[in-house]
């Protein structure tokens, strides 16, 4: 096999702490994605390429609708947020200024027995997460035992067992923060040994030393072999926003506070790419950098934290599926950070990050470029380097969270079952399926005329293959909100039967009212107006 190419069966890696039921569910969702044209392994006929995936005909429609929801919520609903599309290739000095060339590394460790490779920091973070799980479980039991009289603060101080776990958690976390902050690879290796962290596959504790793994992809730009320059595929889209800060501010006559939004591809040479499209080497980001007056950044951080959580919950996948995870260990450039996590089959995982990045990025680009990146504030009569609050979503992670949150297996009253994707109607790949009951008696012609009227505003499909019941199930499985059936009564009463995906209710509707009925639920406005 060609070096670097991994069979498709090996490209899906599951976390060791996933339950058997959840692992089965996740595998089912992955199979569903392929069977119904959402996601395909890249280069599948050549046995696949590890951690690279292609979006199929339904997947790209869903993905584009997700991006549209984000884009319009940012740029259409905010007068002070402008859009940008910066290039993937940028001057290599940008990555010096941002710190990526010097410090964009992950600590790598191998198990000598299983020959498996891991991120050393993730092994420790998983260990800390297990301790957090023990703490939460213990407190939940105590709360149930003591009822309304339960005092959590007092219990944390008095419970011997809980205090032992809390002390262990603090000890491990403090050591982890110290070795991570100083880049002490030997210290990180020793921490893994002291915590007796075992290989999830083999159970072995026979670890190699920890080494640094560079995440940047590089290539050469230039027409002649002796006249080339090393350039990088961007590992994040944010820097394209920062170097265009003044361009957008001046041409758009923007006043602080204001934001710049961007959707674009990013590339990272991941040590361990796992969990289907949750972590990939080529991925897409939706980022907004919000420029604010120094001293106001924490207030804006809290506002955007709340706004972004509302945006996610507005999808209707269940408020209990989301939570904040505030960072204890901050990046050197940040003074506040949180993750919005969604409950995947493999546990709560990050889908969006909100960070207060201070003025680090603009200051660095000032230093390395020699150009002033300042904003003149007429109210203060002075210039300053703005502070930045960032919101950043991985499109592919969000896509996966929506697929996981929408996938439902239902048992019906008649004893049968169905698989349905209860996608938010505005995001569904196909909005309406037009189905002639039979492919004769003039019904296909009427169906085509209905399609002609609807397709300018909605993504529609015409489907006449198989029984009407099988067609309904097929469109349930891809999340189509409405099925419109043209039957033998349609030529005389000029009405159709509309079937609603979630309830399976059927309703007779005049053809002239069809557009309004569909538009009410599937337009992007139906999502945006609730923000």
Strands (E), 207-358: 211-214, 217-221, 229-233, 258-267, 282-292, 322-326, 336-344, 347-358
Q: What local confidence, expressed as pLDDT, does residue 14 receive?
A: 41
CB 237 within 8 A of CB 86: yes
* Number of residues assigned to the chain: 531
Pick the CATH number of 412-528 from 3.40.630.40, 3.40.50.800, 3.50.50.60, 3.40.50.2020: 3.40.50.800
Task: State the pLDDT at residue 20.
Answer: 67
> What pTM was computed for the model?
0.82
Output the tens digit of pLDDT for each of the chain's 531 residues. Answer: 233 332 333 333 444 445 567 788 889 999 999 999 999 988 988 887 878 889 999 999 999 999 999 999 999 999 999 999 999 998 889 988 988 877 777 888 989 998 888 888 889 988 998 898 899 889 989 888 888 888 888 888 889 899 999 999 999 999 998 888 788 899 999 999 999 999 888 889 999 999 887 777 878 887 666 667 888 889 899 999 999 999 999 999 999 999 999 999 998 876 665 667 666 788 899 999 999 999 999 999 999 999 999 999 999 999 999 999 998 878 888 999 999 999 988 888 899 999 999 999 999 999 999 999 999 999 889 999 999 999 999 999 999 999 999 999 998 888 888 999 999 999 999 999 999 999 898 999 999 999 999 999 999 999 999 899 999 999 999 999 999 999 999 999 999 999 999 999 999 999 999 999 999 999 999 999 999
> How far is C-alpha 139 from the chain's CA centre?
30
Residue 499's DSSP bridge partners are 483, 506
Q: What is the pLDDT of residue 225?
A: 61
Q: What is the pLDDT of residue 226?
A: 65
- Pair of tokens at residue 81: 């947020």
CA-based max dimension of the chain: 81
Question: Which residues, 6+ apart, have CB-to-CB distance to 24 below 8 Å?
Answer: none
Per-residue burial over 464-488, b if 16 or more Cβ lie within 10 Å, else e, is beeebeebbbbbbbbbbbbbbbbbe
What fold characterizes domain 53-90+215-410?
Answer: BirA Bifunctional Protein; domain 2 (3.30.930)
- What residues contact 95, with CB distance under 8 A and at least 6 apart? 101, 104, 216, 232, 239
Within a 10 A sphere around the Cβ of 146, how many other Cβ atoms? 12
Residue 69: the pLDDT is 97
Question: What is residue 181's predicted lDDT score, i.e. its pLDDT?
Answer: 76
Phi, psi angles (nearest 5°) of residue 452? -60, -35
Q: Where are the alpha helices (DSSP H) in 372-429?
A: 395-406
**Tally: H helices and E strands in the chain:** 18, 24
Question: Residue 182's pLDDT is what?
Answer: 80
d(CA 378, CA 302): 26
Q: What is the pLDDT of residue 16?
A: 43
Torsion angle of the four alpha carbons 202, 207, 211, 216, in this order, in degrees rounded to the nearest 10:
0
pLDDT at 426 (0 to 100): 96
Which residues, listed in sequence order, are joined to residue 510 by a DSSP beta bridge? 495
* Domain ranges for the chain: 53-90+215-410, 105-214, 412-528
Report the CATH number of the 105-214 domain: 3.30.40.230
Spatial CB neighbours of 147, under 8 Å, sequence gap ≥ 6:
none
Phi, psi dihedrals of residue 272, rounded to the nearest 5°: -130, 105
């Amino acid at each position: 096999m060609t070096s670097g190419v991994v069979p498709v069966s090996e490209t899906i890696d599951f976390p060791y702490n996933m339950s058997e039921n959840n692992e089965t569910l996740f595998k089912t969702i992955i199979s569903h994605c392929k069977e119904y044209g959402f996601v395909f392994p890249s280069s599948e006929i050549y046995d696949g390429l590890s951690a690279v995936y292609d979006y199929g005909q339904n997947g790209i429609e869903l993905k584009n609708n997700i991006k549209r929801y984000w884009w319009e919520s940012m740029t259409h609903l905010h007068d002070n947020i402008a859009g940008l599309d910066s290039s993937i290739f940028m001057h290599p000095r940008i990555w010096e200024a941002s710190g990526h060339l010097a410090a964009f590394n992950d600590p790598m460790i191998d198990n000598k027995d299983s020959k498996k490779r891991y991120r050393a920091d993730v092994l420790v973070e998983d260990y800390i997460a297990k301790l957090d799980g023990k703490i939460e479980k213990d407190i939940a039991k105590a709360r149930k035992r003591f009822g309304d009289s339960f005092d959590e603060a007092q219990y944390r101080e008095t419970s011997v067992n809980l205090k032992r776990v809390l002390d262990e958690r603090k000890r491990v976390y403090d050591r982890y923060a110290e070795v991570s902050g100083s880049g002490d690879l030997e210290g990180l290796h020793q921490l893994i040994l002291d915590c007796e962290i075992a290989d999830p596959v083999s159970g072995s504790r026979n670890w190699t030393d920890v080494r640094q793994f560079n995440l940047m992809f590089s290539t050469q730009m230039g027409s002649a072999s002796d006249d080339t320059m090393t350039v990088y595929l961007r590992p994040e889209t944010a820097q394209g926003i920062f170097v265009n800060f003044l361009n957008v501010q001046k041409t758009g006559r923007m006043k602080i506070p204001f934001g710049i939004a961007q959707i674009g591809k990013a590339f990272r040479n991941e040590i361990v790419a796992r969990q289907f499209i949750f972590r990939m080497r080529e991925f897409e980001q939706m980022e907004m950098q919000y420029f604010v007056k120094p001293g106001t950044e924490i207030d804006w951080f809290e506002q955007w934290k709340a706004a972004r959580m509302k945006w996610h919950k507005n999808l209707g996948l269940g408020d209990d599926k989301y939570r904040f995870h505030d960072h204890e260990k901050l990046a050197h450039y940040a003074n506040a950070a949180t993750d919005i996590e969604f409950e995947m089959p493999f546990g709560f995982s990050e889908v969006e990050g909100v960070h207060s990045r201070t003025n680090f990025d603009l200051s660095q680009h000032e230093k390395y470029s020699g150009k002033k990146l300042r904003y003149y504030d007429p109210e203060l009569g002075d210039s300053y380097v703005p502070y930045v609050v960032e919101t950043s979503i991985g499109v592919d992670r969000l896509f996966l969270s929506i697929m996981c949150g929408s996938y439902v297996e239902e048992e019906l009253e008649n004893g049968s079952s169905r698989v349905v994707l209860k996608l938010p109607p505005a995001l569904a790949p196909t909005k309406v399926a037009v189905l002639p009951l039979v492919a004769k008696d003039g019904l296909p012609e009427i169906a085509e005329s209905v399609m002609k009227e609807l397709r300018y505003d909605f993504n529609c499909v015409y489907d006449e293959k198989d029984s009407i019941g099988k067609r309904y199930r097929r469109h349930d499985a891809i999340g189509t909100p409405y099925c419109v059936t043209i039957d033998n009564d349609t030529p005389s009463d000029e009405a159709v039967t509309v079937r609603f995906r979630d309830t399976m209710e059927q309703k007779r509707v005049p053809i002239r009212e069809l557009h309004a009925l569909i538009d009410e639920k599937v337009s992007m406005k139906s999502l945006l107006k609730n923000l």
